Chains A and B, each alone.
Chain A
Amino acid sequence: MAANKNKNILQVEKLSVRLSQELIIEDLSFCVDRGEHLTIIGPNGSGKTTLFKALIGVIPYTGTITWASDTVIGYVPQKLDIDRNLPLSLNDFLQSKNYHLKPTDLKKYLDLVHLSERLLPKPLGFLSGGEFQRAMMTLALIGDSNVLLFDEPTAGIDEPSEEEIYETMHRLQAEKGVTIITISHDLSLVNRYADNVLCLNRRGLCYGHPHEIANPSTLAKVFGTKRYKHYDHTHG
């Protein structure tokens, strides 16, 4: 089934994922509009990262995942497989995805995430947590990605950097029409930036605008208990 080209960029229907005999995701269906920022929330082990892996097609699943034909996915994993202290410069890191990139093209991507060119020769270990997350975002954007899948964008970085990462995603969404799908634990940031929220706890438990979802009874249902962080923000 083809996703509606004008509206949906992603359509997921009756998705189930079983890993090592364990049912991780069961019968999940949802859609993502072009240019939307969808955030997936849920407790640890609820299948959020597994859902991402199914979306990028690296694990087997049943059901259907339909991306629009013009989709170019940029994926930012939660963890890298390598040690950041290896002698790899930011330039090596970014060129790994496309070594034909001209310096001007590279600058275009760096400008999108507000990362200075001067960091290019620096080893990865030299970058701060926030700079590194933006470097990951740059790597994901290379190739003119129009969908960004970001697993825990703010894991392991300080609060001002968290804010900058979300601001950057928001700008990409607003200026470039990039569709953004994030996994997050931080409900205060979700409330401010996401257009829609999908609560996951094996099944999709709720879906809707953050203000409809972020109420104590829904969150208790998703997280099981009151083990969640919830702050209200008033927009002026």
Chain B
Amino acid sequence: MTIPMDNFDKLSIILAVLTAVASGLLGSFALMRRMALAGDAFSHIALPGIALALLFHVNPIIGGAVALIIGAFIIWRVEKLSGLNTEAVTGVLFTVSLALGALTIGQDHELVDTLFGGISKFSVYEFIIGVIVALIIIIFVIYRRHALVLSLISKDLAKTAHLSTEKLEWQFLLLFALTVVLGLKFLGVLLMGSLIIIPAAIARNLAHNLNSLLIISALSAVLAMVGGMILSTYFALQLGPAIIIVAGGLFVLSLLRVRSI
């Protein structure tokens, strides 16, 4: 197993924090949409794309991004046509993707980083794209939070309020896929889903309303990300597992103060 670099440069830290905020915000809605496990499974859809990218010596993040965006589209279409829920469709696509990825990737050394995250330096180009994507996700969730709540309450009711739930659903899935892409370098395919869901679960335990849910979720994700970076530096740990250990610790702490209604 490769050991991640001991220090993170400024660009990595900025992008890590923005990625965490995007994950925390989006995760709050993923949790409310009962996509907790779908979040985990979703990230695995990146695997065949990453495997193909490695095979053809292309940036693996680009491969993962393409696979995830195609995956999001397939989930959206199949969900609409078959009437299955997101979790079921993602579950099917996830196992098929994992199998395809495993067949393609072989025994590549980069596999460990792909699975568990292991950051190398970001290029300026990667950094700029990453920051733009993270900001789009953050602004979307903040700006559309009321519409997202209405579509959660009842799709039929949302339609009587002239809200296009199909469009919103597609935008959400696409941004979900992009959030996973953002986190792949930090956490890897196996763990990225957890950065989306654990902070949201922490916030679910502590929050009393939508704004506090979003704020607590984003803050927990940032704490987990930065805490994980520090842990991985001091104890020479793989970055992805270090982040999730911090997130898991925060979740346990949140159980001590579960909101009482």
Residues of A within 8 A of B (CB): 53, 56-58, 73-77, 80-82, 85-89, 91-93, 95-97, 99, 121, 123, 125-126, 139-140, 143
Contacts and interface: CB of A to CB of B under 8 A. Distances in A.
23 contacts: A56-B159, A75-B156, A75-B160, A80-B153, A81-B152, A82-B32, A82-B153, A85-B261, A87-B203, A87-B207, A87-B208, A87-B209, A88-B149, A92-B211, A95-B146, A96-B146, A96-B153, A97-B161, A99-B146, A121-B209, A123-B208, A126-B261, A143-B161
Nearest to A125: B261
A123 B153 CA distance: 14
Nearest to A121: B209
Given A123-B261, A126-B261, A77 B212 contact: no
A71 B138 CA distance: 36
Contacts of B250: none
Given A87-B204, A93-B149, A77 B210 contact: no
B154 A81 contact: yes
A140 B208 CA distance: 23
A230 to B, nearest CB: 31
Interface of B: 32, 146-147, 149-150, 152-157, 159-161, 203-204, 207-213, 259, 261
A170 B124 CA distance: 65
Nearest to A49: B156
Contacts of A56: 156, 159-160
Contacts of A99: 146
Contact of B259 (A58, A87, A93): A87
Contacts of B153: 80-82, 93, 96, 139
Given A77-B157, A81-B155, A123-B209, A86 B146 contact: no
B155 to A, nearest CB: 6
B210 A89 contact: yes
A75 B213 CA distance: 27
Among A87, A91, A139, the most chain B Cβ lie within 10 Å of the Cβ of A87
B212 to A, nearest CB: 7
Contacts of A85: 261
Nearest to B159: A58
A182 B166 CA distance: 27
A179 B83 CA distance: 33
A93 B147 CA distance: 10
A134 B132 CA distance: 43
Nearest to B83: A20
Nearest to B203: A87
A74 B209 contact: no
Nearest to A55: B160
B56 to A, nearest CB: 43
Nearest to A82: B152
Given A56-B160, A97-B161, 9 more contacts: A56-B156, A77-B154, A80-B154, A81-B155, A86-B204, A88-B213, A96-B153, A123-B261, A143-B161
Nearest to B163: A97
Contacts of A76: 157
Given A53-B156, A143-B161, A92 B259 contact: no
